[in-house]
Structure 1
Amino acid sequence: MAEVKIVEVGLRDGLQNEPAMLSAELKRELISRLAEAGVKHLEVTSFVHPKWIPQLSDADLVASNLPDLPVTYRALVPNRQGLERALKTGVDEYAVFMSASDTHNRKNINKSMKETLPVLKEVVDLAHQEGKRIRGYVSTVFGCPYEGEVPVKTVAWLCEHLLQMGVYEISLGDTIGVAAPQEVKQKLNELLTVLPASRLAGHFHDTRGTGLANAYVCLEAGVHTLDTSFGGLGGCPYAPGAAGNLATEDLVYMLERSGVKTGIDLNRLCETSLYVQKHLNKPLPSKFLKSYAAERKKQKEGQ
């Protein structure tokens, strides 16, 4: 298997779905811990209006005080106003987002898909003028909580528009965690007839326990960039109590066990996740993390 790029999104996509509010100081400490564990691509916050995501209302403070580490820092920006805020910080690159279903897009952004594209183009153009790269997120690729099945042709049309406007990579999101491996394989096969695998990434939620299998299907199809969240941080607003993003620990374990070097120290990563568990007052869903914690407890009891 070729080299795999892991994009850690727990500090943004994970924390925005957690009811607990972590301090900017703690987030900075988590950034340092993740970097020390070997994480190279970190999405640290989102410059949306604070009233929409209060958990990330400290975006300006967090992004203005990033540790000087060999890490690519990214932040989500919804529009020109968000980008202008982000440009005043130390973030290296940005990401724009929209859905592949009109209903979800209107619920999320208050615009249709066609109305959203010019807004994103303005962001991309301005970012490029400032010498910054832009990534794209497409949500509800494998299913919408309002419309159900999302046609592959719609996803392809949207991705082509995003690539034409200048995003360097598109993350395909299983927003509500409904995808199964065979479905992922079929949709990717169709998408890859018109889109290059090198410009795509997989973003899976483990809501129904298929996240890791879906990620493996992505790798087999030639899509070698995957988004994950340390500890499996996060959740799905449409499935209360369900597991959130695919856990970084689970993916790293599978890859390393398969002979793929990730450069990530699993022990350090797990210690970081156990550390944040204490501040969230809840166990995180990563399966590898649970086994690590059990073994750690057993060793301590044997001392």
Structure 2
Amino acid sequence: MSLNQFKLVECPRDAMQGLHEFVPTALKAEYLNLLLQVGFDTLDFGSFVSPKAIPQMADTSEVLANLDLSSSSTKLLAIVANLKGVEGAVKHNEISYLGFPFSISETFQQRNTNSSIEQSLNTVEEMLSLCALNNKKAVVYLSMGFGNPYSDVWNYEIVEKWADVLVSKGVEIISIADTVGVSTPESITDILPKLITKFSNTEIGIHLHSTPAERFEKIDAAYNSGVKRIDSALKGFGGCPMAADDLTGNIATEDVLEYLTSKGENLNLNMDKWNEALNFSGRIFN
């Protein structure tokens, strides 16, 4: 894989959103400002969703106002769950990407965004229109992309079908999300190469959840599948609260960095700032 294909997406929003104790706005901003200096392609920094649903992200606009983007090449991504969120996010010039969780499990789509898959497809279409008008790009996460805990029917054909629909609507970036950590190296290497081959003009990424013991084998499977972008979070914080295993969290960024470095990839990151962020994270995540 050529070096310039790699897009590393650091996800402090995903890491923080489930914390029960509210992290002060200034502290969030200080942490994000450190991460902005590391050199990741993208920072999934916040979300424009109902504060009742995700209280931790209620101050995303205030956090954004305290970010120093003057010396960072990192682009900002914000998660949205409905049209109101889209309209709130596109007002901010500093945001490059809007991310939408599009579940291929009907049960999870209702639980996560209080809408059906078909209603969510309408939201995606409206998001694409507003992104085009406001110089933004949409990132659509195919959540429950490797299966679900609700007994909703899942197979590769369903994944491909919805990827096909989204690409036909104009989505240029799709991230396959393992919402509850059920992916295996085998399922990753079965699904990703097929999607990457079929949708060769689409940026296909991966957002995995995992137990610590399984992280490296999942990263290895994604890398060998030719994936173009990898989401991760410092120390593997966060993950889906509905995962049955308390150890299931995000893929740890340090594991991704270690793996890619072992493969000879030149990541061009400021490791001094990365180590500062690692040390600082203890003030966010007790």
TM-score, length-normalised on structure 1?
0.86
Q: Corresponding residue for 2:85?
A: 82
Confirm or deny: 8 A CA contact 1:235 1:241 kept in the other structure: no
Counterpart among 182, 187, 191 of residue 187 in structure 1: 191
CA shift at 1:208, angstroms?
6.3
Sequence identity of aligned pairs in percent?
A: 30
State whether structure 2 residue 51 is matched by structure 1 residue 50.
Answer: yes
CA shift at 1:20, angstroms?
3.0
**2:86 counterpart SS class:** helix
Alignment of 1:259-278 (within 5 A): 259-278=264-283
Partner amino acid for 1:25?
Answer: A
Q: Corresponding residue for 1:159?
A: 163
Write out the 4+ residue segments of structure 1 that deviate beyond 4 Å after TM superposition: none
Aligned length: 280
Confirm or deny: 8 A CA contact 1:253 1:266 kept in the other structure: no
Separation in 1, partners of 2:248, 2:155: 26
Separation in 1, partners of 2:194, 2:77: 29
CA shift at 1:75, angstroms?
0.6
Q: What RMSD, in angstroms, separates the aligned Cα atoms of the two structures?
A: 1.9
Q: Corresponding residue for 2:35?
A: 34
Separation in 2, partners of 1:261, 1:147: 42
Alignment of 1:1-303 (within 5 A): 1-3=1-3, 4-9=6-11, 11-68=12-69, 69-89=72-92, 90-147=94-151, 150-196=154-200, 198-207=202-211, 209-238=213-242, 239=244, 241-281=246-286
Confirm or deny: 8 A CA contact 1:184 1:218 kept in the other structure: yes
Separation in 2, partners of 1:273, 1:208: 17
Q: Deviations over 1:107-152 (max 9, x none)?
A: 1122221221012211111111122111111111112121266211
Q: Give structure 2 stretches of 5+ with no counterpart.
A: none
Partner amino acid for 2:90?
Answer: L
Separation in 2, partners of 1:199, 1:31: 25
Partner amino acid for 1:59?
Answer: T
Partner amino acid for 2:88?
Answer: R
Q: Corresponding residue for 1:294?
A: none
Separation in 2, partners of 1:189, 1:236: 25
- C-alpha distance 149-18 of structure 1, shift in aligned 2 (>3 A): farther
Separation in 1, partners of 2:108, 2:48: 20
Q: Corresponding residue for 1:285?
A: none
Please tell me whether Structure 1 or Structure 2 has the larger radius of gyration of its CA atoms: 1
CA shift at 1:197, angstroms?
7.5
Q: Deviations over 1:197-229 (max 9, x none)?
A: 752001111236323322222221221210011
Separation in 1, partners of 2:38, 2:192: 31
Which is worse superposed, 74-83 or 267-276?
A: 267-276
Separation in 1, partners of 2:43, 2:222: 21
Q: Corresponding residue for 1:296?
A: none
TM-score, length-normalised on structure 2?
0.90
Confirm or deny: 8 A CA contact 2:174 2:202 kept in the other structure: no
**2:2 counterpart SS class:** coil
Partner amino acid for 2:39?
Answer: G
CA shift at 1:52, angstroms?
0.2
Q: Deviations over 1:7-61 (max 9, x none)?
A: 111x211111222321221121112211222223111101011000001010121
- C-alpha distance 149-226 of structure 1, shift in aligned 2 (>3 A): farther
CA shift at 1:174, angstroms?
0.8
Which is worse superposed, 26-35 or 258-267?
A: 258-267
CA shift at 1:248, angstroms?
0.8
Confirm or deny: 8 A CA contact 2:28 2:63 kept in the other structure: yes
